[in-house]
Amino acid sequence: MKNTIDGKLLLASASPRRKELLTQMGVSFEVRISNQEERCESTIPQEMVKELALQKAENVAREYWKKEAGEKGAFPVRILGADTIVVQNGAILGKPKNRTDAVRMIRDLQGSSHFVYTGVALLCYDAAGQKTVQTHVEETRVFVHPMTGDEILEYVNSGECDDKAGAYGIQGSFGKYIHRIEGDYYNVVGLPLSAVYQMLKRNGI
């Protein structure tokens, strides 16, 4: 696999985990973060993540057009957006507001299963600036072992739960509580590598 694509690749995400995963894939990219707020109209998890991923990519695309579209070598360009949510029994578990909220989430997740959905949107602008759009939604089911109250508190107090959907990171110390998964492990981390690679492969890798 080449380590560059035909033109720039911009990652429309502030997530260090997505940055690490895209680096792991071996492609060159730049991180661009939009300060615009995303708003979701759908209430269906699979549609929500797709909608939010597309908004992230489009927000970065608008800023790119304003600031850099007139520069030499600005096109072709690919813009990759992603959004991940954790869903249990139809309820969406976002990032915990505080440690108390994190304890509540982990108590709900332990001894049970839940779903992780990641929406991916890839905007592809050719040399003439013409856009095509591809989207994808990945689903992974995660089964968590029963946990004691002390185990929950120990994990939450470690701080690893902070800023993570569902209040946990599968790639960290919470991994010892994961019984099994059905689907893509990297999707739970925050970016389904195989799906993203295939999308990029179809568009210039």
Whether residue 96 is preceded by a cis peptide bond, meaning omega within 30 degrees of 0, is no
Q: Which of 83, 108, 126, 163 is catalytic?
A: 83
Apex 49 CA angle, 45 and 53, nearest 5: 170
Three-class DSSP category at 140: strand
CA-nearest of 85, 91, 80 to 31 is 80
Amino acid at 36: Q
Question: Which residue has 């940055």 as its token pair?
Answer: 19
CB count, 10 Å around CB of 73?
9
Q: What is the DSSP letter of 7?
A: B
Phi, psi of 141 (to 5 degrees): -100, 130
Catalytic (active site) residue 6: no
Per DSSP bridges, beta strands 30-31 and 8-11 are parallel
Identify each DSSP E strand in the chain by its residue range. 8-11, 30-31, 77-88, 91-93, 113-125, 131-144, 178-182
Catalytic positions: 83
